[in-house]
Amino acid sequence: MVVGDVTTGTDVLIIGAGPGGYVAAIRAGQLDLDVTLVEKDIYGGTCLNHGCIPSKALISATDVAYDAGQAEHMGITADPAVDLEGMVDWKDEVVGQLTGGVERLCKANGVNLMKGRAEFTGENAVRVAHDGEGQGSETIEFEHAVIATGSRPMELPGLEFDGENVIDSRTALALDSVPAELVVVGAGYIGMELSSVFAKLGSEVTVVEALDGALPAYEDDIARVVTDRAEEVGVDFHFGESAREWVESGDGLTLRTENEAGDVSEFGAEKVLVAVGREPVTDTLSLDALGLEPDREGFLATDEYARTDLEHVFAVGDVAGEPMLAHKGMKEGEVAAEVIAGEPAALDSRAIPAAVFTDPEIGTVGLTEAEAEAEGFEPVTGEMPMRASGRALTLDETDGFVRIVADEPSGFVLGAQVVAPEASETIAELAFAVEMGATVEDIGATIHTHPTLGESVMEAAENAREKAIHTLNR
């Protein structure tokens, strides 16, 4: 069917069906708004198709094989063979189930789904170009718009992505064979999650990072635990090295880096994975036609209602700025839809949790001790080392700790840092504590199931009050 230049109307137009956009669409549908969701690619966005879900699937599958091969001390001898193509096929099945689910949920909630690339043509209109020859375009007039176009990987000059030698995380998550040698540029979220995956799969992995340590957004003692473990599984770190360019060499390539003193180093590789951050996708939307100007980095400023400088235009997810995390985008999507429907909604979370799916995982929420001090609190911390946790011992994963930061006079939980197995799950209880205004006494008084990793949260809370039972008190 050829779609000509027809014009249709909708109350709420949402551009981008990632976690920000599809949640906004479903919530708007639930609130009986007339909503149209435009997506140029596959439903689910970066998170479901090329980010959160595929990376976590590969991390889990790799650990099944790796852990089985490392369990001789538990009386298990195995030498699992990994077929990366098979692993990637399984990962794609997981992704397919979720993206199909997003489409079904949107339809079930009355969302009009439209495939195509949207671009603003006026204050209340977009043109949606349909892919494929003769497919044409159509104009949609809207009352409200929600921009949820997400982000893309940043390119380094001299290291542009070519899908073969220099790759981004999306390509890395879809490789059909394990590179013999992989250089990863950047020891941030992606670099730290994926370098261990490839090292466990058998690649010789080198990580080059411009700063003097991994995961600069996290405290040193947290980053240290996961860096040490990554080294144990074979990752070779080079800190203080900025990637500059690559050249072909023999049957592979050479990456050149430079340190602060200007010394150049070279690293041989089959492929280079560049993971140096992500940038918002706002430059393809013709925002000037709408009358909206992004900031210098391309982000759209929003208020607590997820509203941009324009009364009728909202921005959610990665385009609305840091932290660029799926759950932050989802909450913004929900709020935008409710505000449009006239509900009394606002973004009023006290803290947004974050998790890094390294080995062991990291989970954080709220303030660190230093941040609490800087904000004028009198912080007290409580810790529980994982080596003292019965459950961690039975899992054979005893690296790390749970740390709770509380305000000493009132006992209110201000934040927490967890580096431990399943920290991404454990942090949910602590996020709830911060959100509810719970005290360390509340957490300590809550009976936690034995033997679980969750008990470590209770012990850390009790440690802050000098009454932990299973670890020495301060």
Distance (Å) of CA 318 to CA 29, 288, 332, 435: 22, 20, 10, 23
Task: Strands of 336-454 (E only): list them.
Answer: 354-356, 361-366, 379-385, 401-407, 413-420
Give the interface segment with ligand FAD, choosing from 48-56, 85-93, 358-366, 466-474 (CB under 6 A).
48-56
- Options 86, 101, 216, 291; binder of ligand NAD; rule CB under 6 A: 216
Establish if 138 lies at the interface with ligand FAD (CB under 6 A).
no
Contacted entry of ligand FAD, ligand NAD, none for residue 292, CB cut-off 5 to 8 Å set by kind: none
Partner interacting with residue 210 (select from ligand NAD, ligand FAD, none; CB below 5-8 Å by kind): ligand NAD
Q: Which is nearer to ligand NAD, 209 or 462 (CB)?
A: 209
Of 113 and 233, CB closest to ligand FAD: 113
Measuring CA to CA, how many Å separate 463 from each of 59, 292, 402, 437, 446? 33, 51, 11, 19, 14
Residue ranges in 233-325 assigned as alpha helix (H): 287-290
**38 binds, options ligand NAD, ligand FAD, none, Cβ within 5 to 8 A by partner type:** ligand FAD
Instruction: Candidates 9-17, 92-100, 362-370, 393-401: pick the segment binding ligand FAD (CB under 6 A).
Output: 9-17
- Provide the pairing of β-strand 181-185 with 271-274: parallel
Please give the structure tokens belonging to residue 162: 């070519």
Give least dist CB 329 to ligand FAD, A: 4
Site string for ligand NAD, 86-125 (x = CB under 6 A): ----------------------------------------
Site for ligand NAD in 169-188 (CB under 6 A): 185-188
Q: Which is nearer to ligand NAD, 313 or 351 (CB)?
A: 351
| 20 lies in the binding site for ligand FAD (CB under 6 A) | yes
- Its sign, for the CA torsion 101, 107, 109, 114, is positive
Q: Which residues, in sequence order, are CB contacts of 180 under 8 Å at separation 6+?
A: 203, 204, 270
Catalytic choice (312, 327, 450, 470): 450
Interaction partner, residue 203 (ligand FAD, ligand NAD, none; CB < 5-8 Å by kind): none
Q: Let me know: does 253 contact 165? Beta carbons within 8 Å.
A: yes
- The structure tokens listed for 403 are 């740390």
> Taking Cα atoms as reference points, which of 42, 35, 41 lies closest to residue 131?
41
The yes-or-no answer on residue 450 being catalytic is yes
Q: Does residue 324 interact with ligand NAD by CB under 6 A?
A: yes
CB of 257 to ligand NAD, least distance (A): 7
CB-based contacts of 36, cutoff 8 Å, min separation 6: 8, 10, 12, 13, 14, 111, 112, 113, 114, 140, 142
Burial per residue of 105-129, b for 16 or more beta-carbon CB atoms within 10 angstroms, e otherwise: bbeebebbbbbbbbbbeeebbbbbb
- Of 85-93, 292-300, 351-359, 429-437, the window that binds ligand NAD (rule: CB under 6 A) is 351-359
Binding to ligand NAD (CB under 6 A) within 230-289 occurs at 242-243, 275-278
Backbone angles phi, psi at 354, to 5 degrees: -140, 150
Distance (Å) of CA 355 to CA 215, 218, 232, 364: 12, 11, 21, 6
* CA pair distance 299, 177, nearest whole angstrom: 36
Asked if 324 touches ligand FAD (CB under 6 A), the answer is: yes
User: Nearest-CA neighbor of 153 among 324, 16, 354?
Assistant: 324
**156 interface partner picked from ligand FAD, ligand NAD, none, CB below 5 to 8 A per type:** ligand NAD
Residues at the interface with ligand FAD (CB under 6 A): 15-21, 38-41, 45-47, 51-52, 55, 117-118, 148-151, 169, 190, 281, 284-285, 317-318, 324-327, 329, 357
Residues at the interface with ligand NAD (CB under 6 A): 156, 185-191, 193, 208-211, 216, 242-243, 275-278, 323-325, 355-357
Residues with catalytic roles: 450
